[in-house]
Amino acid sequence: MTFTKSINIYKGSFKHFFLSLVFLGLIYGCEKEIVVELPESEVLLVVEGRIEGDGVSKTPPFILLSRSSGYFDVTSIADMENLQVHDAVITIRVDNIDYPLEELCIPDLTFLPDSLQLLVAGFLGIGIEGLASFNYCFYTVPIADLISGNYLYGIPGKTYYLTIESEGATYTSKTKVPNLVPLANVWFEVSKDDSLGFAWAHLEDPDTIGNAYRWYAKRLGTDFQGNLKDEGYLPPAGSAIEDEFFNGKSFDFGFDRGHLPGNHEENDPSEVSHYFKTTDTIAIKFCTIDYDVYRYLRVYEIEVNSAGSPFASPSTIPTNIEGGGLGLWAGYGVTYDTIFGVK
């Protein structure tokens, strides 16, 4: 009986061993090396251009040209410099007059006043100290005109037609600097603890469908190290809005504090990311934009805020560049306000 039991145990063990071998064979037998050959991406011209007007100051247009790159392409500072497009012929037409633009690079900026250097840094989305770290080149009005103060600038209500000739191709676009819609009121409101809050405003939207806006803000003054708190105006997440659901209405709205893309670190340990403080003096830049600009910015911000998440829905960023290019030629009608952060 003991002998028979031992045989049964042996048969059971052998059966389990055999099944395990079969199972492992199936696993490894189905294993196959997969090589994915990604198609070459088409290289397209990318336009990043803007012209703005506030009815008072004279802000020149700025245009940055580059080539598109593949999603999986390795990117370094040198690669980014090589993606820039040089020697393009660019004109802006307004009121039946053509204004040629000129390519300027970082070394040329030493001849410009600090106020214009700040405008360039703001357009590029970097701090002014970052200008020296990368050999940026962009197109704007001729440097002689900038120095003399006699140059093309944005005027509310005007439409600006852009033509770009580059590497045998021609690209066109148009944008309008919309009429100004000033905010009726601005204020600071505490929303956390007793010293942190958001910037608020009251908007009276005109009774015409299709109005769109963008909000920027910056803190004035220096931090505990003597550095500027914000060197330029920064848009928070969701900064672009349009009046589909509030056409002709008056309402209050608030925004948190914006940051440079990919940079949410605070130099001052007393600062809290995304919040303003009661001691902050906040400059507001409120812009009217046309609907094409709004559509681009809305999708662009969704993509930026997804931070490359593999679970985010893929989207195609719209463009108003005709001729096979990508990007945006944007007009901004600008008004300014100041908030003193007092509880």
DSSP for 262-310, please give it: T----SSTT--TT-EETT-EEEEEEEEE-HHHHHHHHHHHHHHHHTT-T
Q: What is the pLDDT of residue 263?
A: 61
**Higher-confidence residue: 131 or 32?**
131
Q: Which residues, including other chains, have CB under 8 Å from residue 153's CB and lie 6 or more apart?
A: 51, 53, 57, 58, 59, 60, 61
Q: Where are the domains of the chain?
A: 45-178+317-333
Half-sphere exposure of 29 (CA within 13 A, CB side): 6
For the chain, give the mean pLDDT.
Answer: 84
Q: Mapping DSSP to helix (H, G, I), strand (E, B) and coil, where does residue 310 land?
A: coil
pLDDT tens, 164-218?
999 999 999 999 999 999 999 999 998 766 788 999 999 999 999 999 999 999 9
The whole-model pTM stands at 0.84
- Comparing 192-196, 242-246, 267-271, 279-283, which segment has the lowest mean pLDDT? 267-271
At 141, list the tokens: 């009005």
Rg, Å, the chain Cα set = 28
pLDDT tens, 4-50?
444 444 444 545 555 565 555 555 555 566 666 767 778 999 999 99
Residue 58 scores a pLDDT above 70: yes
Residue 76 scores a pLDDT above 60: yes
